[in-house]
Amino acid sequence: MARIPEEEIERLKREISVERLALAKGVKLKKHGENLLGLCPFHDDREPSLVITPSKNLWHCLGACQTGGTVIDWVMRAEGVRFRHAFELLRADIPSLEAFPEKPRGRQKEKVAKQSTTPKLPAVIEQRAADDVLLRQVTDYYHAALKQSPEALAYLQKRGLNNAEMLERFRLGYANRTLCYRLPQKNRVSGADQRGRLQALGIYGAKGHEHFNGSLVIPVFDGEHRVTEMYGRKVNDHLRAGCAWQAQQKGRRRPTRGPNAGNPTPKRQEL
C-alpha cells in the first residue's frame, strides 16, 4: 500500500471540520460550554450523546458507539469505509465535505441537512468509453497519482529519472491502489461492468485487485497516441516473497489499427 504522507493527513484534520461533517449528516448541534452536543447519527440515539470539541476538531459518542476521533474516523464510521478510502474521500475535496465559508442559517441550514450525505469521488472512467479511451483514462489517472506520490517520485529520483518533461512526455504513472475508489461500488451494475472491463483489459487481475499496485506504470503508445499496453515496475524495495518486481498488463489487446497492428508492441525500455 502506497504510504500516505503524514502532512496530508494532518492537513485534512486541520482543514475539514467535524462540525461541518456532522451538519452534513443532518445532526442538529447545540452549544454546551466549549463543546457541541447532538444526537449521534451512528446509533439510535435518544439523548444527545455526540460530543464535538471544535477547538480540537474531535468528536466522541458517549452512548452506544463509545468511539470517536478525527474527521477521518468520522468518515470511516459514516461511510463504512477503511482509513485509506476515508482519506481519499476527504482529500478529493468533494463539495459535500467542503467547509462552509460561513455558518448556514434558517432555510439554508435545512436544505444543507437534507442534501445527500453519501460522498462520491469524481469518476475516473466514463461509463460508455471505448476500450482505448478507457485505457487512456486509466493512464491519465495513474499519471496524476504519480505526481502526488512521494514514494514513486523518490524511486524515479533514485534511478535518475526524475525529470518533469520526461514524466509528461511518456505519461509515466503510479498505481497507488486508489483507482477502485473512483469506480461505482462492486454491487452496482455499473461497478461490476467497469471492473469486468478493466479486468478484460488487464488493469485488474483475476482476483479483482489492480494488477500494477505499488508500481511505476509505463504506458506504450501507438502512432495515433493510443495506449496499446502497459508495464509496471514495483517502486518498493521490500516485497513479499513471490511478489514480482515487474508486471506486464495481462490480456491486453493487440493494436487493431496503425503501424503495430497485429504485432506485439515495441520492446519495453528498461527502467
Q: SS3 breakdown of the chain: % helix, strand, coil, rounded to 5? A: 35, 15, 50
Spell out, one character per residue from 26 to 55, where the chain touches Zn ion: x when CB under 5 A holds, - when not: --------------x-xx------------
CB of 38 to Zn ion, least distance (A): 10
The answer to the question of residue 61 lying near Zn ion (CB under 5 A) is yes
> Cα(88)–Cα(2) distance, rounded to whole angstroms?
12
Residue listed under C-alpha cell 502506497 = 2
The answer to the question of residue 81 lying near Zn ion (CB under 5 A) is no
3 state SS of 248: strand
b/e for 24-36, b at 16 or more Cβ within 10 A? Answer: bbebebeeeeebb
| DSSP tag of 127 | T
CB of 18 to Zn ion, least distance (A): 14
CB of 34 to Zn ion, least distance (A): 20
Number of residues interacting with Zn ion: please give it, by CB under 5 A: 6
26 vs 150, beta carbon nearer Zn ion: 26
Options 5-13, 57-65, 146-154, 218-226: segment touching Zn ion (CB under 5 A): 57-65
Question: What phi, psi does 72 have (nearest 5°)?
Answer: -70, -40
The answer to the question of residue 9 lying near Zn ion (CB under 5 A) is no
The answer to the question of residue 201 lying near Zn ion (CB under 5 A) is no
Q: Which H or E run includes 119?
A: none
Provide the binding-site residues for Zn ion, judged by CB under 5 A: 40, 42-43, 61, 63, 65
